[in-house]
Amino acid sequence: MQKLRCKVNFEALKFTPRIQELGHKLVHFLQSKGPFLVLHLRYEMDMLAFSGCTHGCTDAETEELTKMRYAYPWWKEKVIDSEQKRLDGFCPLTPEETTLVLKALGFDKEIQIYIAAGEIYGGDRRMAPLYDAFSNVVRKETILNAEDLRPFQNHSSQMAALDYLVALDSDVFVPTYDGNMAKVVEGHRRFLGYKKTILLDRRRIVQLVDDFQRGSLNWDEFSLSIREHHNQQMGAPRKRTEIPERPKEEDYFYANPEECLSK
């Protein structure tokens, strides 16, 4: 049954021809320029409002995100301790934190970084550290012309599908939050031959970032700690955790479809 699920998930299900054609166009463009990393940067306004994560935001932005959370009655959690949630590892990494991690992992400053995300909250102000550290940051809007994207622009799921196709074929995939898309891409990349996926430990990362910014760690210590902590979290084969009494805490099958992967 699990093997059948894999065949359906990763072979039978296809995006529409129009999505696949444009996704492959993006991939071919990136591959023609050399190796590329896909950064799934989950730092959009709705994500932050829903999760209550406001680290690095201005007071006005925090108020705006809070109002948005209260405006959606089906978002049950209203009062959220943002800093505690961040320390517990339940917030997407900020662009600033992500930049430090990529630098610590030793990525070349000229590597292509494709941003798989919607509009980043805070815009260029929040993205400035990433732009300063890496000279070749792109997204679909900067690669394709407006005419190519026009049929998809009012369809967020179709725009995400384009990012999904690029993420599958990237040399490295780095999600900053383990949402549904990140988990499905992780499992699909395992199915395609354990392509390199760096699974970030957000709880440990924010501790190290805070220590570095307070001066408790110098850069070499920070960088070494980041590399050592993640050298076994690159999407390699591993047994899927099963917890019969707490199934919601198990590894998702679609993130690690162990039964149908080659060993």
pLDDT in the model for residue 228: 93
pLDDT in the model for residue 140: 95
Q: 53-109 pLDDT, tens per residue? A: 999 999 999 999 999 999 999 998 999 999 999 999 999 999 999 999 999 999 999
What is the phi-psi region of residue 239: left when phi exceeds 0, alpha when psi lies from -120 to 50, beta otherwise? beta
- Dihedral in degrees, nearest 10, Cα atoms 128, 149, 160, 236: -70
pLDDT in the model for residue 246: 79
- Phi, psi of 138, deg, nearest 5: -135, 170
pLDDT in the model for residue 89: 94
- Neighbour tally for 91: CB within 10 Å: 28
pLDDT in the model for residue 263: 63
How far apart (Å, rounded) are the C-alpha atoms in residues 123 and 125? 5
Element (H, E) at 115: strand 112-115
How confident is the chain (263 residues) per 10-residue block, as mean pLDDT?
89 94 96 97 95 95 96 92 95 97 96 95 95 96 92 91 97 94 93 93 96 96 95 77 77 85 71
How far apart (Å, rounded) are the C-alpha atoms in residues 92 and 73? 23
pLDDT in the model for residue 186: 94
CB 88 within 8 A of CB 55: no
pLDDT in the model for residue 36: 97
How far apart (Å, rounded) are the C-alpha atoms in residues 258 and 252? 10
pLDDT in the model for residue 231: 84
